[in-house]
Amino acid sequence: MSKCSPSGDPVGPAPTPTPQVVVTNEMDFWLTKGNQSVVLQKQTSILAFGATYNTYANIEVDDSKTFQTIDGFGYTLTGGSAQVINQLNTQKRQELLKELFGSDANSIAISYLRISIGASDLNAAPFTYDDLASGQTDMNLDNFSLAPDKTDLIPMLKEIVAINPNIKIMATPWSPPVWMKDNNGFIGGSLKPEYYAVYAKYFVKYIQTMKAEGITIDAVTPQNEPLHPGNNPSMLMIALHQADFIKNHLGPAFKAANLATKIVAYDHNCNKPEYPIAVLNDPAANPYVDGSAFHLYEGDISALSTVHNAFPNKNIYFTEQYTSSTGSFDGDLKWHVKNVIIGSMRNWSKTALEWNLANNASFGPNTPGGCTTCKGALTINSSDSFTRNVGYYIIAHASKFVPAGSVRISSNFSGNLNNVAFKTPSGKKVLIVENDGNTSEIFNIKYNGNWITTSLEAGSVGTYIW
């Protein structure tokens, strides 16, 4: 007679439970969509490496092949940007600066800033640090003063340095004091040869005075957009004159003052790689020049590689690109991530900088004749309200995940999937992907023989971290 349970049913061995396969997430994925339905959001999908074959395209990341070391991602902190951010109330302002420059979970960890020596066209009015009455000169720079920037810019830089002591700062003039120029005006003109030496001293004094304020200038360029003398302020400085200024005045002056600040040539569009090449070809200027800087209002981003290939021991910097008040979020996100972030990095740049950090609701302030359509990464609406614009997300997709000291590593292109990869100082791998096509794409991220399968909608940007 079989043994029965109290209910009369036969008792058999207990069924073996099916073991639950716990898949742990091995890759973080942050997403921004062109339609703004998702902006810089960490996705909850579980991404785990495997080796099950599929026919999707591969982006293969190889950290055995390394390229340039990254100095950082960020913006130009224009005088106007500092002025409008200072219109926020104390709490809102402090929260914003921590979000921009901090390193906690809610921050985007901006690691590089560009500032103007004197006014840029996104100041309310043009000025330099040694403005004199017409007809006067100041060969000893006795009148030199940072006073015009002590209300907004310099106090803000001190706060930023307190939040991120390692932030790197590049400084560039839009114009020297007008008494040094052949037209005695802020717009255009050229530096008179008899003032080359005093202008070099002006740079030295600027770097030393900023240092005394607790602000280290990592690099300078001799002139913003030296071939665009129509801005306010601006100055024409052809390659021959820039080489002369660097080799006979600026370089020796930095050396005599024992300054470690780098001198970076050019700082203008990708359509004229022959300009930085001419400066670097000058055998007396070359030793003083750390590298060259580029914008992309004209030309192609591959010009950075043209200059790198001519002088592989010199650095490359991408220092400015603006988003326009007339642009669209989806169009600007695609173009800027493709060119400014991925394009500059794949062409040897150590930095990728967008233009102004902030402006007011009417795209000001700006000088008379300065840019009226430059849309900052932020719009400051009132004392307690600001909007994050497309420029914020363009930079954040890199700055938040790729700290200074990261190294670019190899990754292959696959159709419409523009991408660039990095290894961070802590050993993490970061891949930034932009789907430049018109349809959603499924693809593999392959690393060390295994891969993760993921997808990106058309016009979307993803940053993947593992």
Give the DSSP letter string of 234-287: -----HHHHHHHIIIIIHHHHHHTT---EEEEEEEEET-THHHHHHHH-TTTGG
So which residues are the catalytic ones?
Answer: 225, 320
Query: Which residue from 72, 81, 108 is spatially nearest to 396, judged by alpha carbons?
Result: 108
Residue 14: predicted pLDDT: 66
Residue 414: predicted pLDDT: 84
Q: Using CA atoms, how far apart are residues 347 and 420, in angstroms rounded to an integer?
A: 10
What is the maximum span of the chain, computed from C-alpha positions, in angstroms? 122
Residue 10: predicted pLDDT: 54
Q: What is the mean pLDDT of residues 67-77?
A: 98
Q: What is the mean pLDDT of residues 156-174?
A: 98
Residue 72: predicted pLDDT: 98
Q: Using CA atoms, how far apart are residues 307 and 463, in angstroms rounded to an integer?
A: 28
How large a percentage of the chain has pLDDT more than 90? 95
**AA letter at 400:** K
Q: What is the DSSP string of 53-106?
A: ---SEEEEEEEEEEEEEP-EEEEE--HHHHHHHTTS-HHHHHHHHHHHH--STT
Tell me the average pLDDT of the chain. Answer: 96
pLDDT in tens, 344-364: 999 999 999 999 999 999 999
Residue 23: predicted pLDDT: 81
For residue 443, count other CB atoms closer than 10 A to its CB: 23
Per-residue HEC secondary structure of 288-322 comes to HEEEEEEEEEEECCCHHHHHHHHCCCCEEEEEECC
pLDDT in tens, 13-28: 666 666 676 789 999 9
Whether the predicted pLDDT of 47 surpasses 80: yes
What's the pTM value of the predicted model, to 2 decimals?
A: 0.95
Q: Positive or negative CA dihedral for 114, 118, 122, 124?
A: positive
Residue 13: predicted pLDDT: 65
Six-digit token string for 247: 């080799």
What letter does residue 4 receive in the DSSP assignment? B
Report residue 398: phi and psi, to 5°: -105, -50
Instruction: Say which residues have a Cβ less than 8 Å from residue 181's Cβ, sequence separation at least 6.
Output: 175, 189, 190, 191, 192, 235
Residue 19: predicted pLDDT: 65
pLDDT in tens, 400-446: 999 999 999 999 998 999 999 999 999 999 999 999 999 999 999 99
CA distances from 415 to 109, 275, 438, 449 (A): 31, 33, 12, 21
Q: What is the mean pLDDT of residues 437-459?
A: 98
Whether the predicted pLDDT of 220 surpasses 70: yes
Whether the predicted pLDDT of 4 surpasses 70: no
Could you give the 3-state DSSP secondary structure of residue 9? coil
For residue 341, count other CB atoms closer than 10 A to its CB: 28
Whether the predicted pLDDT of 8 surpasses 90: no
Whether the predicted pLDDT of 305 surpasses 60: yes
